[in-house]
Amino acid sequence: MTTSHLVGSDELTAADVPAAAALHARAFPRFFLSCLGEPFLREFYAGFVDDPDAVTVVSRAADGTLVGVVVGTTTPDGFFRRLLRRRGARLARAAVRPALRDPRAALRLLRGVAYRGEVPLAARGALLSSICVGPAVAHAGHGRRLIDQWWRAVRQRGVDAAYLTTDADDNDRVNRFYRRAGWTLLGAYTTPEGRRMHCYGICAGPEHRQ
């Protein structure tokens, strides 16, 4: 599939949630959220649908198939509080079986309950929570277009900065992607599990600030 076979982008809808979860699981098979399974991922992505501060962009093939999705929020603290309040019970039920299989996942899940988008660095603004594209468009510049559209939507909300986190180790392709997309490495830190993370940020120039 080439980008010429793609239709325009729009926002994530409830009908897109199962496909978004499946796309995430395929794109990041070794990452923590994927290890919790697609039922958990469906609850996670559903939390971005209709949330007042969520910023989402999806793209579709000509037949309507979801091939790319990026989600985030302009107010990380408020978003994750609402996610826990509205969907906490469903998230917990979805995570029970994976957590029983791996006690380490249970510990990470408990810490994740308290997560509010914070990082031990001087990051501010909107949080880009996840971006993934299907393998058919992964090397056609499609991810760059998606992240640029998401950043443009953030600025349209009157927010002039954003940040994201990604693995520092064994993740060179993704780190290069963010740097080439114009994001700046703000620093690195290590999670309680010993996972080294990079935090990237982006800031609008004066001509884009409202």
Bridge partners of 184, per DSSP, are 201
pLDDT digits (tens, 9 = 90+) for 112-123: 555 667 788 889
pLDDT band at 110 (very low <50, low <70, confident <90, very high): low
Three-class SS state of 128: strand
pLDDT digits (tens, 9 = 90+) for 25-48: 988 887 778 888 899 999 999 999
pLDDT digits (tens, 9 = 90+) for 51-100: 999 999 999 988 888 999 999 999 998 999 899 899 988 988 888 877 77
Kindly tell me if the per-residue pLDDT of 105 is higher than 80: no
CATH number of domain containing 151: 3.40.630.30
Domain count for the chain, please give it: 1
pLDDT band at 207 (very low <50, low <70, confident <90, very high): very low
pLDDT digits (tens, 9 = 90+) for 146-201: 999 999 999 999 999 999 999 999 999 999 999 999 999 999 999 887 889 999 99
Single pTM value for the model: 0.86
Least confident window among 2-6, 20-24, 137-141? 2-6
Domain limits for position 197: 3-208
CA separation, residue 50 to residues 82, 87, 148, 184 (Å):
12, 13, 21, 30
pLDDT band at 4 (very low <50, low <70, confident <90, very high): very low
Cα–Cα–Cα angle for 40, 108, 151, rounded to 5 degrees: 65
Q: Distance between CA atoms of 144 and 135, rounded to whole angstroms?
A: 14
Closest residue by Cα to residue 60 from 142, 139, 126: 142
pLDDT number for residue 96? 80
